[in-house]
Structure 1
Amino acid sequence: MVINIWWLGVKLYRNPLTAFKVVKHLISDFQEMIGNKKLVRAFKIDGRYAWDMFNPAWPSPGFNSFFQSHLQEIKPTNQNQFGLRRLLIAITKRCPLACEHCSEAGTLYNNDVLSCDEFISRIDKYVSQGVGQLIYSGGEPLSRFDDLLTMLSRFKPSCDQWIYTSGFGLTLEKAQQLKRAGLNGAAISLDNHLEKSHNTFRGSSKSFFWVHEAVKNLQEVGVLVALNVCPTKAYIESGGVEELIELVKKWNVPIVNLLEPRAVGNYQDKDVELDIQHKEHLKKISDQFNFEREFLDYPTVLFPAGYRKAKPCGGGISYMLLDYDGTLYPCPFCKVKMPEVPKQAALCEA
């Protein structure tokens, strides 16, 4: 895999030594970010290898595009290219749920603005610039299922493609259609290990059922599954995160992604953001499951905010959000509008 990245650098810089130095820099940055520890697991699915949900699986065209852009971010080759690697696309604001923490509460249930062709036209520009990973979100991206299939099919030859979803209504038949169209991964939202508590949080008596159904159906067709978890302060203090990880292990899901509650949307002006002790606890859990071999048969537990000191947020630099109306933002939480094709990306401070 590293040789693959080096070869991308050779073609990019037309100099093997320059490529070696840039790849060495890339690896050094990653090792510094994780505290010079060694990850204890990776995953093989559908003939490809992955270690998290933020880097495309290898080998794949999406992997090549993603890491060529990553190299470009470290050492640009000219002024017309930029190191954008990942594009999040909120294809709809429709959603069957009413989640307590919804960050899109201000625009939720708005009518779709862009047609499928208009979305494809915009996404094409970024794929041609080297974006290697596309993430379809919402609202609930499954609410626009036929258009989602069309977009997946369009970018299947060139990109690693994920959905961020509640899993609501994701039957086996739909999982098969998504896989055929080009879906590589799905991050499904689960916010409590207790069915009733999760359903209350999500505003639906069927949400937990559909999370589990979606997990099983996607796993059956060979899609990499992760679970997005947004733990509240009370949930962390009660030991709920550890209980949820045990449940995820039983479900044989390989990745748990711990997200921070943010004071936006339904949480606007509320005291929901985690205190330092909560973040330290989640970072400790993440390190425990990712780097200690005694937990080898547990899922990888990601906590991106835990590495914020070593690596600032990449919003507007390595990834951006294309909203349902065509507006570009650095990330889903930072509502500072950006130019359509940024020449100088601005770091997201959210």
Structure 2
Amino acid sequence: MSSQQIQYSTPVTGSASGHDPDWLPGFYTHILSQSITANIRKVVSIVGADPSLLLTATRLLSAQKKAARKREMLAAEGVQVPAVVMLSLTHQCNLACHGCYMRSLHPVMEPEMSSDEIRNLISQCVDLGVSFLVLAGGEPLVRKDDILMLAREFPLMTFAIYTNGLLIDDTLATKIGKYKNIVPILSIEGDREATDSRRADGVYEAAIRSFSLLRQNGNFFGCSVTVSSKNFTEVTSDRFVEDMISCGCRLITYVEYVPIGEGTSDLVLSQDQHNSLNNILSRFSDQYPVLVIGFPGDEEAFGGCLSAGRGFVHISPSGDLEPCPAAPISDVNVTKIPLREALKSDLLAKIRVNHHMLSESGGGCALWANRVWAQSLLVPGPGNPE
């Protein structure tokens, strides 16, 4: 998950027995929690000269430690709470990017959760010990009022917003600047040509303008890069990292391309590129004053794929609890039952028990590569009746 990996000498091996990885109780969750803590400490070091951000970062570090303890206590009660919840706030988007997973995987758009339902969901996340909310879409800033409301009401929760940045103007940047627990992460594909060819003409310049506005308002922000065989050399260059830092980015996430769209398999990283990526990102993190995170990253450090609640879950705009954004299958809906009960989903439990099948694979997503198998696990449940 992260270039800031915690190294352990204990071998990660296991079997398919038990409810989740009973082969080594709490081992991978402990590693994950320490990896998250290490990343927050890196943030503290990055923002050390900025009093407002430093105060927020140290508060979030304390909150993370408390959240980790909550997760450990609930795990002992048989409730697997993920450190990260990915919430797609909306299907709506102002772009039609090539290879977009939302458009490819969700051709039928169900009614979206209301503001009250989202507020209630986040309150439950806080109570259960979730450390981070990753807000996506569609374009999450379509629901900017909801995001600002959440940041105000849950000041010790970090809201990482994956956005194309087109809706960030002076007014919104000022409002976002009031809430240091909002971390805008703007999507960019490398240089102007690479970004505009995948997204739309003018998107690269719009992102650069948004970086400037966020910087003026004192935000901690970053960029997200979908790494493909086509842009690999560009986005893993020192020049690219230095350019992003010069724009004010203090976080860069690298997401390996998943060939969800038809006819895009040529964009998957070659084996050599895939093998070298984690080492490159680790060097960047050591060399530059920026937090660098890779997805899926070196999942072997955590005993395999972190989906299905081992490390994260995904919640669709309509409230379906899914193992991963690349696996839109669900047997429970968080608008119908409490999140604590939803996390006991039979589907998620079966995937966790069999996570040894989800080794890293071509395309950066083992669950997507094994989607037929995952679909076969789906049985009728409270949120998915016959």
Task: Tell me the CA shift for residue 323 of structure 1.
Answer: 0.8
> CA separation in 2, counterparts of 1:230 and 1:256?
11
**SS of residue paired to 2:101:** coil
Residue 324 of structure 1: which of 317, 320, 341 is its match? 317
Give the conservation status (yes or no) of the 8 Å contact 1:330–1:338: no
Identify which range, 223-232 or 268-277, moves more after superposition. Answer: 268-277
Distance 1:94 1:46, change over 3 A: farther
Report the residue type matching 1:305 in the other structure: P
Distance 1:87 1:338, change over 3 A: farther
Match for residue 344 of structure 2?
A: 343
Give the conservation status (yes or no) of the 8 Å contact 2:215–2:248: no
1:106-121 matches, within 5 Å, as 106=104, 107=106, 110=109, 112-121=111-120
1:1-350 matches, within 5 Å, as 26=30, 30=34, 42-44=45-47, 45=50, 47-49=52-54, 58-60=57-59, 62-73=60-71, 78-79=76-77, 81-106=79-104, 107=106, 110=109, 112-156=111-155, 158-180=156-178, 183-193=181-191, 195-202=192-199, 204-236=200-232, 238-242=233-237, 243-264=239-260, 266-267=261-262, 270-291=265-286, 295-296=287-288, 299-311=290-302, 312-315=304-307, 316-337=309-330, 339=332, 340=334, 341-343=342-344, 346=349, 347=352, 349=358, 350=367
> CA separation in 2, counterparts of 1:41 and 1:218?
19
Report the residue type matching 1:122 in the other structure: L
**SS of residue paired to 2:190:** coil
Give the conservation status (yes or no) of the 8 Å contact 1:40–1:296: no
Give the conservation status (yes or no) of the 8 Å contact 1:183–1:223: no
Identify which range, 238-247 or 94-103, moves more after superposition. Answer: 238-247
Task: Tell me the CA shift for residue 183 of structure 1.
Answer: 4.2
Identify which range, 101-110 or 280-289, moves more after superposition. Answer: 101-110
Give the conservation status (yes or no) of the 8 Å contact 1:190–1:198: yes
Give the conservation status (yes or no) of the 8 Å contact 1:114–1:326: yes
Give the conservation status (yes or no) of the 8 Å contact 1:188–1:228: yes
Report the residue type matching 2:274 in the other structure: K
Unaligned ranges ≥5, structure 2? 1-25, 335-341, 359-366, 368-386
> CA separation in 2, counterparts of 1:261 and 1:287?
19
Task: Tell me the CA shift for residue 200 of structure 1.
Answer: 1.5
Unaligned ranges ≥5, structure 1? 1-21, 51-56
Give the conservation status (yes or no) of the 8 Å contact 1:92–1:112: no
> CA separation in 2, counterparts of 1:39 and 1:145?
28
Normalising by structure 2, we get a TM-score of 0.69
> CA separation in 1, counterparts of 2:246 and 2:262?
31
Task: Tell me the CA shift for residue 39 of structure 1.
Answer: 7.3
Distance 1:179 1:82, change over 3 A: farther
Q: Deviations over 1:297-327 (max 9, x none)?
A: 5x34332434112123322223221110110
Q: Deviations over 1:20-42 (max 9, x none)?
A: xx99x9479858xx9xxx97993
Q: Percent identity?
A: 18
**SS of residue paired to 1:200:** helix
Task: Tell me the CA shift for residue 331 of structure 1.
Answer: 2.1
Normalising by structure 1, we get a TM-score of 0.75
Task: Tell me the CA shift for residue 108 of structure 1.
Answer: 6.7
> CA separation in 1, counterparts of 2:54 and 2:306?
24
Give the conservation status (yes or no) of the 8 Å contact 1:161–1:182: no
Q: Deviations over 1:257-279 (max 9, x none)?
A: 11111122x35773433232111
> CA separation in 1, counterparts of 2:162 and 2:197?
20
> CA separation in 1, counterparts of 2:264 and 2:201?
28
Give the conservation status (yes or no) of the 8 Å contact 2:161–2:183: yes
Identify which range, 158-167 or 172-181, moves more after superposition. Answer: 172-181
Task: Tell me the CA shift for residue 174 of structure 1.
Answer: 0.2
> CA separation in 1, counterparts of 2:327 and 2:263?
13
Give the conservation status (yes or no) of the 8 Å contact 1:132–1:160: yes
Give the conservation status (yes or no) of the 8 Å contact 2:189–2:231: no
Distance 1:151 1:27, change over 3 A: closer
Greater RCO between the two (CA within 8 Å, min separation 6)? Answer: 2
Task: Tell me the CA shift for residue 148 of structure 1.
Answer: 2.5
**SS of residue paired to 2:296:** helix
Q: Deviations over 1:284-307 (max 9, x none)?
A: 31122223xxx345x343324341
> CA separation in 1, counterparts of 2:280 and 2:75?
40
Task: Tell me the CA shift for residue 65 of structure 1.
Answer: 4.2
Q: How many residues align structurally?
A: 307
Give the conservation status (yes or no) of the 8 Å contact 1:114–1:325: yes
Give the conservation status (yes or no) of the 8 Å contact 1:166–1:211: yes
Give the conservation status (yes or no) of the 8 Å contact 1:88–1:319: yes
Give the conservation status (yes or no) of the 8 Å contact 2:212–2:248: no
Q: Deviations over 1:221-244 (max 9, x none)?
A: 2221121101210222x4443142
> CA separation in 2, counterparts of 1:271 and 1:215?
31
